[in-house]
A and B are shown apart, each in its own frame.
Chain A
Amino acid sequence: MYTDTVFLSATTTPFSYFPIVLQLVAALGFVGITMLATHFLGPKRKTSDKLINFESGIEQKGNARQPVAIKYFLTAILFVLFDVEVIFFYPYAVNFRELGWEGFVAVLMFVGFFLCGFIYITKKGALKWED
Chain B
Amino acid sequence: MTLLSIDWFFIIEKVLLISVVLVLSLVVAMYSTWGERKVAAWIQDRLGPNRAGPMGLLQPLADGGKLFFKEEIIPTNSSRFLFILGPSIAMMVACMTSAVIPWGDTLVIAGRPVSLQIADVNIGILFIFGVVSMGVYGIMIGGWASNNKFSLLASVRAASQIISYELPMGLALIALLMLTGSLSLKDIVEQQRHSLWNVCYQPLGFFIFLVCAFAECNRAPFDLPEAENELNGGYHLEYSSMKLGFFLFAEYINMFISSALIATMYFGGYAFPYMDSLGLDPNVVTILGFVALFIKTLCFIFFFMWVRWTVPRFRYDQLMRLGWKVMIPLALANMLITGALILARQH
Touch test A–B (CB under 8 Å):
yes
Residue A124 CB within 8 A of the other chain: no
- Listed by A's residue number, 19 A-B pairs whose Cβ atoms lie within 8 Å are A4-B5, A17-B119, A18-B119, A19-B99, A19-B119, A22-B118, A23-B98, A26-B18, A31-B92, A35-B84, A53-B147, A64-B151, A75-B160, A79-B164, A89-B174, A93-B178, A100-B343, A111-B336, A118-B329
Task: Decide if B184 touches A11 in the complex (CB within 8 Å).
Answer: yes
- Does B69 touch A at the CB level, under 8 Å? yes
A76 to B91, CA, bound (A): 23
- Closest CB in chain B relative to A103 CB, distance in Å: 9
Q: What are the residues of chain B within 8 A of A46 when measuring CB–CB?
A: 73
* Given A52-B76, A65-B152, A4 and B119 contact (CB-CB distance below 8 Å): no
Contacts of B149 in A (CB 8 A): 55, 64
Complex Cα gap A101–B88 (Å): 47
Q: Which of A27-86 contact B (CB under 8 A)?
A: 27-28, 30-32, 34-35, 37-39, 41-46, 48, 50-56, 60, 63-65, 68, 71-72, 75-76, 79, 82-83, 86
- Pairwise interchain contact B120-A16, C-beta atoms closer than 8 A: yes
User: Does B210 belong to the interface (CB within 8 Å)?
Assistant: no
Contact between B178 and A96, CB atoms less than 8 A apart: yes
In whole angstroms, what is the CA distance A113 to B76 when docked? 50
Query: Majority SS of interface residues in chain A?
Result: helix
B266 within 8 A of A: no
Give A82's nearest chain B residue, CB to CB: B167
How many A-B Cβ pairs are below 8 Å?
222
Specify which chain B residues have a CB less than 8 angstroms from the CB of A71 in the assembled complex: 160
Interface size (A, Cβ < 8 Å)? 73
Q: Closest CB of chain B to A14's CB: distance in Å? A: 10
Question: Are A19 and B14 touching (Cβ within 8 A)?
Answer: yes
Is B96's CB under 8 angstroms from A22's CB? no
The proximity string for A residues 88-104 relative to B, scoring 1 for CB distances below 8 Å and 0 otherwise, is: 01100110110011001
Residues of A within 8 A of B92 (CB): 24, 27-28, 31
Q: Assess A9 versus B73: contact at CB under 8 Å? Given A75-B163, A93-B178.
A: no
B residues within 8 A CB of A64?
Answer: 77, 146-149, 151-152
Contact A72:B332 (CB < 8 A) given known A4-B7, A8-B10, A130-B317: no
Instruction: Say which residue of A19, A86, A89 sits within 8 Å of B118 (CB atoms).
Output: A19
* Residues from 3 to 59 in B contacting A, C-beta threshold 8 Å: 5-7, 10-11, 14-15, 17-19, 22
From B70, B126, B147, B332, A111 is in contact (CB under 8 Å) with B332
* Nearest 9 CB-CB pairings of A with B: A38-B242, A129-B317, A27-B95, A19-B119, A79-B163, A93-B177, A130-B317, A64-B149, A75-B160
Q: How far apart are A7's CB and chain B's nearest CB, in angstroms?
A: 8
Q: In the complex, which residues 107-131 of chain A have their Cβ closer than 8 Å to any Cβ of chain B?
A: 107-108, 111, 114-115, 118, 122, 127, 129-130
User: Does B167 contact A86, Cβ atoms closer than 8 Å?
Assistant: yes
> Is A23 a contact partner of B96 (Cβ separation < 8 A)?
yes
In the complex, identify which listed stretch (B196-204, B271-279, B288-296, B318-326) lies at the interface while the others stay far away.
B318-326
User: Which chain B residues border A18 with CB–CB below 8 Å?
Assistant: 14, 119
| Chain B residues, Cβ within 8 Å of A45 | 71
Query: Does any Cβ of A come within 8 Å of B108's Cβ?
Result: no
